[in-house]
Amino acid sequence: MDTINGHTRLYGLFAHPAKHSLSPLMHNLSFQARQINAVYLAFDLKDDLGTAVKSIRQFDMGGVNLSMPFKKEVLPYLDELTPEAQMIGAVNTIINHDGYLIGTSTDGNGFFASLSAKGYPVQKKTATILGAGGAGLSVIAAGASGGLSSIHVFKRHNATFRTVSDTLDHFSGRCGTSIRLYDYNDRKALRKAISESDFLINTTNIGMGDDRSIPVPAELIEDLDPSLVVCDVIYEPRQTRLLQTAREKGCVTFNGLGMLIYQGALAFQLWTGQSMPVKKVEKAIQEKLYPK
């Protein structure tokens, strides 16, 4: 809609920092394309999350997105969590139903929706996933509930290793997917896992902002099978060194742009009941991120 009036519904992002976000571009373009009388704003929220959540009800906002650290901190303020949010203990989307706030996570499901849209469904496939932080757990949970038959997870053997192991055991028991956790430094296990996998997915921040860092030892990259689909949740730079090297080996590769767009598309659907014009949004974001 071109005109903001007394009927305009407010949506937004609670984040810190927030000014860099592409979510306003994505959702406002979609509202306009679908002729929905709504506007999406980015709110740089430094503290007092409770008051911010109260404003969702107070201002009858349609919903909000959240970034870390608010994805976990917001849980006590919500009325309900979806099964996805319960599994990972975090939300990136809140839906407001007449003051009743439901928290969900669209990150992992968005990632796999983007792969499916490109012709790479994951049902009955095997994946090796690097990292088990917020993005990693979202992808692991969505992959387990979405039909992956086996998941190999690699993370640093630090203070959270045992907790993550217990969490993944819970995922496995709930979804029936075989999930195994390994020490990131176990190169023999990493080599074997990659050789058995259909997908290699980096959910760490290794490679973000530079074209030199790589989350997989060079000697393992040399042995990549061309049939392997290699993904990185990073979208800036457009091609991380992992993706560049994998492409040189003949692998199909995807960066994190698809995840960014499709997690937004799922939130848009939950809020409005309408589909996001994905191709139009993708074109606008690519022009913003990767100007010629």
Q: Based on the residue annotation, tell me whether 71 is a catalytic residue of this protein.
A: yes
- Is residue 74 marked as binding? no
* Residue 23 assigned as binding residue: yes
3-class DSSP state for residue 27? helix
Please tell me which residue in 46, 71, 124, 288 is annotated as part of the active site. Answer: 71
With contact defined as beta carbons under 8 Å apart, do 248 and 276 qualify? no
Q: Residue 98 annotated as binding?
A: no
- Nearest alpha carbon to residue 28 among 19, 15, 17, 37: 37
131 carries a ligand binding annotation: yes
110 is an annotated ligand-binding site residue: no
Q: 263 a known binding residue?
A: yes
What span, in angstroms and rounded, lies between the C-alpha atoms of 33 and 24? 14
Strands 93-97 and 63-66: antiparallel
Binding residue per annotation — 189?
Answer: no
Do the annotations mark residue 21 as ligand-binding? yes
Give which of 184, 290, 281 is closest to 239, Cα–Cα: 290
In whole angstroms, give the CA distance from residue 202 to residue 210.
Answer: 15
User: Is 22 assigned a ligand-binding role in the annotation?
Assistant: yes
Going by the annotation, the residues of the binding site for shikimate are: 21-23, 67, 92, 107, 235, 263
Going by the annotation, the residues of the binding site for NADP(+) are: 131-135, 233, 256
Which residues are part of the catalytic machinery?
71
Going by the annotation, the residues of the binding site are: 21-23, 67, 92, 107, 131-135, 233, 235, 256, 263
